[in-house]
Amino acid sequence: MSDQNIGQNSGMFGVNDTGDTSGYGGLTRRHTMPSRISDVGVQPYGGWFKEIADALAFTDAEAVIHRGELTFHVRRERLLEALQMLRDELRFELCSGVSGVHYPSDQGKELHAVYHLLSMTYNRRVRVETSAPDADPHVPSGVAIYPTLDWHERETYDMFGIVFDGHPGLTRILMPDDWPGHPQRKDYPLGGIPVEYKGATIPPPDTRRSYS
């Protein structure tokens, strides 16, 4: 499994049309997320990481250990099995909710749904991440396993357009019901109007020249 590419920057100020006089115009910077360990069953982990990786091996999950946190990337078809296993066998009683992230440059896996689970029995945290392509933004709903996901999934649907199949009532929750688009996606502009200040016009934040 190659590393997840999350974008590329060139130059310094994100200026494309006029000459960049900063001298940094030739710089290109690739960004990748921390590496994944693809065969979770055989990798050497320390302590309880191994216990969980072994238990989740049947889902073909990929693991990331970064900054002391354990993340499992699970294919969406196996998500519910993984959550069920984590709740019932590994005692992750509390789900802190789901948060969406949009990675437009992660081809075929643009939309990510990130679940944070907490085991109060063992005092552990684990993160489960699944993804769906923009063209088919469907992820199974975890409400039957963690009822708390009800509003969290509605929010993620509202903000990213991820459709949680099997949710009891997947409607918008923060935006008005007739709102077009999903605001937290990277292709959705921030909006705003130019502001005049002391004779000069300041463009809205997302169209300003900024460091990249």
Partner 1 sequence: MTTTENERTFTVTGQDWDELTDALKDVKDERIVVNMGPQHPSTHGVLRLILELEGETVTEARAGIGYLHTGIEKNMEFRSWTQGTTFVTRMDYLSPIFNETAYVLGVEKLLGIQAEVPEKADVIRVMLMELNRISSHLVAIATGGMELGALTVMTIGFRERELCLDLFEFITGLRMNHAYIRPGGVAQDVPEGTVARVSEFIELMKTRLTEYAALCNANPIFKGRLEQVGYLDLEGCLALGLTGPILRSTGYPWDLRKTQPYCGYQDYDFEVITWDTCDSYGRFRVRLAEMWESLRIMEQALKRLKDLDGAPVMVADKKIAWPSQLSVGPDGQGNSLDHIRHIMGESMEALIHHFKLVTEGFRVPAGQAYAAIESPRGELGAHVVSDGGTKPYRVHFRDPSFTNLQATSVMSEGGMVADVIVAIASIDPVMGGVDR
Task: Return the residue of 36, 76, 116, 167 that touches partner 1, per CB under 8 A.
Answer: 116
Question: Considering beta carbons, is residue 79 or 106 the nearer one to partner 1?
Answer: 106
Q: How far apart are CA 98 and CA 117, in angstroms?
A: 9
Q: How far apart are CA 139 and CA 79, in angstroms?
A: 8
Cross-strand pairs, 10: 28
Question: Considering beta carbons, is residue 71 or 130 the nearer one to partner 1?
Answer: 71
Q: Is 146 exposed, middle or buried (0-12, 13-18, 19+ CB in 10 A)?
A: buried
Query: Segment near partner 1 (CB under 8 A), from 78-86, 95-103, 133-141, 193-201?
Result: 95-103
Could you say whether residue 28 binds partner 1 (CB under 8 A)?
Answer: no
Coil, strand or helix: which one is 100?
strand
Question: Considering beta carbons, is residue 79 or 159 the nearer one to partner 1?
Answer: 159
Encoded tokens for 205: 């934040």
Q: How many positions of this chain bind partner 1 (CB under 8 A)?
A: 50
Q: What is the DSSP letter of 123?
A: T
Query: Segment near partner 1 (CB under 8 A), from 29-37, 50-58, 77-85, 130-138?
Result: 29-37
Query: Shortest distance, CB of residue 135 to partner 1, whole angstroms?
Result: 21
- Return all residues near 19 (Cβ < 8 A) that are at least 6 apart: 25
Could you say whether residue 114 binds partner 1 (CB under 8 A)?
Answer: yes
By CB under 8 A, the residues from 134 to 153 that bind partner 1 are 146-148, 150-152
Question: Do 43 and 37 form a contact (C-beta atoms < 8 A)?
Answer: yes
Coil, strand or helix: which one is 201?
strand
By CB under 8 A, the residues from 178 to 207 that bind partner 1 are 183-184, 190, 205-206
121 phi, psi to nearest 5 deg: -60, -50
Task: Return the residue of 1, 27, 31, 54 that touches partner 1, per CB under 8 A.
Answer: 31
74 closest CA partner among 65, 82, 85, 66: 82
Pattern of binders to partner 1 over 154-173, x per CB under 8 A?
A: -x---x------------xx
Interstrand relation of 69-73 and 62-66 (parallel, antiparallel or unpaired): antiparallel
The contact set with partner 1 (CB under 8 A) reads 6-7, 9, 29, 31-34, 66-69, 71, 93-97, 99-102, 114, 116, 118, 120, 123, 125, 127, 146-148, 150-152, 155, 159, 172-176, 183-184, 190, 205-206, 210-212
